[in-house]
Amino acid sequence: MEKKWQFVHRRWNPLRQSWVLVSPHRTQRPWQGEVGQKAAPSGASYDPQCYLCPGNKRAGGAVNPAYEGVFPFVNDYAALLPDSPALDKAPVSPLLKAEPARGLCKVLCYHPDHSLTLARMTREEIRPVVDAWTQQYLEIGGLDWIQYVQIFENRGAMMGASNPHPHGQIWSTGFVPDEPAAETLAQRDHLARTGHCLLCDYVEAERTSGERIVFENEHFAAIVPFWAVWPFEVLLVSRRHLGAMPEFTEAERDGLADALKRLTTRFDNLFDTSFPYTMGFHQSPTDGGDHSEWHFHAHFYPPLLRSATVRKFMVGFEMLGMPQRDITPEDAAQRLRTSSEEHFWPRA
């Protein structure tokens, strides 16, 4: 185990331009908080109650087609809508500022089999999902009023996923949301100061160090970032300087499917559970600007800390001060490196 970081310190996140507090000694403390339930895998390929299974009726009344591959549709209860009324009243104070917010919310079913997850799908089954994400980014991002396409997945009840059916979401907005907006500024700033891409430089530094790399394939590197906040947070970065999925070669699309398969399998095997997470892709905004500063990556934010039932909470000092972590990113990377790529729950 890496000993050099076993003291309280803070680390800089250059991508978000913020700090994280690292307190490695806290992993020694006794646990008296919530002990959650281990997530039992679901075995049924079809659930008559599931609103995402092929042929089933959704809550809004629509009936899903008998789809055999991926299936995208507009969310029946969308948080964002294409039309937003203009705000005509002048605010009483500039501190009471509001703006219309337009957008589109779509759902993408990855596979008709209710019991699957990315971890238990094959690379060959994940590849059409990569193609669908690319197509959705192109189609939605091509609308002149859409400035950002956020593709993401909430996995597991612990992360608020309402349905275990393998699926993700695509929320697109008429503005660039805060996280990618902050990363745009940071990447632009790094490019202006050094003439280099921030994440190209970062991946090179991590490959030199080797301490936090979980695995690499020819096209992607999976890294527990130096500034990770969540216990087993992972940054999946393209090795080539790419802004968004439409720039990928065929081999890079295969490479992303391979990296997703391997990473999610290692996650599941860590605690022999269907590992919960929020994951999403950060790509170039589609606001028509020059985004040569942007480098494609995926964030995985899993909440589990010590076992299938003990999670990390973001409360107290973390809400009021700054994020804090217990196990070091180096230890987390080591745990994920030794986790198997053969799934603990093989398919029949």
List residues near Zn ion by CB under 5 A. 47, 50, 52-53, 114, 165, 183, 197, 199-200, 241, 282, 295
Catalytic residue among 111, 167, 219, 299: 167
Specify whether the CB–CB gap between 239 and 295 falls below 8 A.
no
Pick 127 or 297: Cβ nearer Zn ion: 297
- 205: tokens are 């530094």
DSSP state string for 125-161: HHHHHHHHHHHHHHHHHTSTT--EEEEEEEESGGGT-
Integer Cα distance of 144 and 121 in angstroms: 35
Q: List phi, psi (to 5°) of 223.
A: -130, 135
Integer Cα distance of 168 and 129 in angstroms: 10
Smallest gap, in angstroms, from Cβ of residue 21 to Zn ion?
20
Smallest gap, in angstroms, from Cβ of residue 206 to Zn ion?
13
Pick 165 or 219: Cβ nearer Zn ion: 165
Pick 234 or 269: Cβ nearer Zn ion: 234
Active site residue 114: no
Pick 24 or 164: Cβ nearer Zn ion: 164
CA atoms within 13 A on the CB side of 45: 7
Integer Cα distance of 32 and 226 in angstroms: 29
DSSP classification of residue 175:
S
Smallest gap, in angstroms, from Cβ of residue 215 to Zn ion?
20
Smallest gap, in angstroms, from Cβ of residue 281 to Zn ion?
9
In which residue are the tokens 């185990």 written? 1
Smallest gap, in angstroms, from Cβ of residue 333 to Zn ion?
18
Pick 67 or 215: Cβ nearer Zn ion: 67
DSSP state string for 227-278: T--STT-EEEEESS--SSGGG--HHHHHHHHHHHHHHHHHHHHHTTS---EE
Q: Give the active site residues.
A: 167
